[in-house]
Amino acid sequence: MEEDNSILVDIQLLSRSITLEQGTSNESEEKDDGCFKPPPAKKACLATTSTAEDEKSKLEVRLGGILCCAVCLDLPRMSVFQCTNGHLMCAGCFNHLLADCRIKDNTPTCPNCRVELSRSACTRNLAVEKAVSELPAECTHCGRNFPRNMLENHEASFCLERPTPCQYNVLGCDWKGPHREAAAHEADCKQRSLSASEILPFLRSEAEKAETEKSKFSNFMNLLSYEKITFNDVQMRPFRTEEFNHNLYYETTRFSAFGCLFSINMRLNDDRRDTHLTNDRYLSYQLVLRGKPSPPRFLVHFSIVRGPYGGMKVLPNVAQHEFTETLTESSWNLLPLVDSAECNRLLANRNIDFRIVMSQQPVSSL
């Protein structure tokens, strides 16, 4: 709360200093009551004051128009990239544009000047990122204005209107409301007066969910305990199918594990043809044995993790396949990326780098 007020005071000071610069303010008449208010009405009778306020808002609007992303026209909250002619794009649109062109096999170009875009040719623009962070933006919960670099902190921790769950949600209360109402609700929360046997079913279902999550990690830990284990840092390269619509797919070069050669195939949205039209993008992969299995039947557990290069954000996953002379390709497994934006980020880079951890068991010993 204290910090919240200090932000408001900062903004008030900012607003005052701008008014002072316009030579219209009599500061001693303003009271510091912690609220961000427009100048008092009596000042409005001075034509110059309203002009100053207009100018201020116009300047912000004008700067917003200049510093916005050329694709989504929003003011970027994160990194800003620019083409060689200086046109700006937010990181999300930049990655999306490169990913779209990778899928459609087009050369990415700047939406403003059509100059060719690439990761190496485009640079970040730190001055724009900093300038944007100083421009005011509206809190999505309370509607008040804050400089963008303070907004995230305000919305997450200080806004009195921010959605807050009841602290008894761990006992099954599903109330969620404005932060200022949380204390009153909690004082009167029905969950507090329930008996242990009434809460038990909810706690059981929560424990089951936690157990499912835990099993993903224990599967991975088990993989590390097998006798034969190896890992490879691989790079997926983009290729196109020979069909008319040239679907994008990825493949690694062959790599060796347990005395056999393997490769990995990766495809986008299960080879659906409308991938470039959807924002919901995902990758799936299969492990392929190149050549004869030795021993003749063996089971491989494998897991894709972030390697030392590329920085892929992937959740814990373990897949398995029993390789024989006729079954040399595993089924397609979903690559559990954190979100679709991460998928676009991977597609925007030319190659996809990761590490695959594999363990082998001869089938006779199972």
Answer yes or no whether residue 221 interacts with Zn ion by CB under 5 A: no
- Coil/strand/helix, residue 211: helix
Please list every residue from 144 through 203 that binds Zn ion, using CB under 5 A.
Answer: 159, 166, 168, 173, 175, 189
Q: Is the Cβ of residue 71 or residue 304 nearer to Zn ion in the bound state?
A: 71
Q: Report the residue from 18, 139, 199, 305 that binds Zn ion according to the rule CB under 5 A.
A: 139
Q: Decide if residue 268 touches Zn ion (CB under 5 A).
A: no
For the bound state, the minimum distance from the C-beta of residue 76 to Zn ion, rounded and expressed in Å, comes to 6
Of residues 87, 96, 301, 345, which one binds Zn ion by CB under 5 A? 87
- Which value, to the nearest 10 degrees, does the dihedral of the CA atoms of residues 252, 253, 254, 257 take? -60
Q: Which is nearer to Zn ion, 159 or 357 (CB)?
A: 159
Query: Which residue, 135 or 142, has its beta carbon nearer to Zn ion?
Result: 142
Q: How far is the CB of 166 from Zn ion (least distance, A)?
A: 3
Nearer to Zn ion, 155 or 322 (CB): 155
Q: Which stretch binds Zn ion (CB under 5 A): 13-21, 25-33, 79-87, 237-245?
A: 79-87
Residue 314 is given by DSSP the state: B
CA–CA distance, 206 with 306 (Å, rounded to integer): 29
Give Cα 247 distance to the centre of its chain: 26
Structure tokens at 144: 């008040």
Closer to Zn ion by Cβ: residue 108 or 293: 108
**Closest to Zn ion by CB, 113 or 221:** 113
**Where in 103-132 is the site for Zn ion (CB under 5 A)?**
110, 112-113
Give the 3-state secondary structure of residue 207: helix
Q: Is 322 exposed, middle or buried (CB count within 10 Å of its CB: 0-12, 13-18, 19+)? A: middle
Residue count of the chain, please give it: 366
DSSP state of 206: H
Residue 170 C-beta: closest distance to Zn ion, Å: 10
Interface positions, 282-321, toward Zn ion (CB under 5 A): none
- Considering only 13-21, 91-99, 305-313, 325-333, which stretch makes contact with Zn ion by CB under 5 A? 91-99
* Inter-residue contact 176 to 186 (CB < 8 Å): no
Q: What is the DSSP letter of 117?
A: -
Count of residues in contact with Zn ion, rule CB under 5 A = 20
Residue among 63 and 142 whose Cβ is closer to Zn ion? 142
109 DSSP β-pair partners: 116
Q: What CA–CA distance (Å, rounded) separates 18 from 57?
A: 11
Closest CA to 229 of 356, 358, 355, 366: 358
85 part of the interface to Zn ion, by CB under 5 A: yes
Least CB distance from residue 82 to Zn ion, whole Å? 8
Nearer to Zn ion, 175 or 231 (CB): 175
The stretch near Zn ion (CB under 5 A) out of 19-27, 72-80, 213-221, 292-300 is: 72-80
Cis peptide leading into residue 38 (ω within 30°): no
Binds Zn ion by CB under 5 A, chosen from 83, 268, 288, 289:
83
Pairing of strands 255-257, 248-251: unpaired
Are the C-beta atoms of 314 and 304 separated by less than 8 Å?
Answer: yes
- Distance CA(194)–CA(168), nearest Å, equals 11
Kindly list the residues in this chain that would bind Zn ion in the complex (CB under 5 A). 69, 71-72, 83, 85, 87, 90, 93, 110, 112-113, 139, 141-142, 159, 166, 168, 173, 175, 189
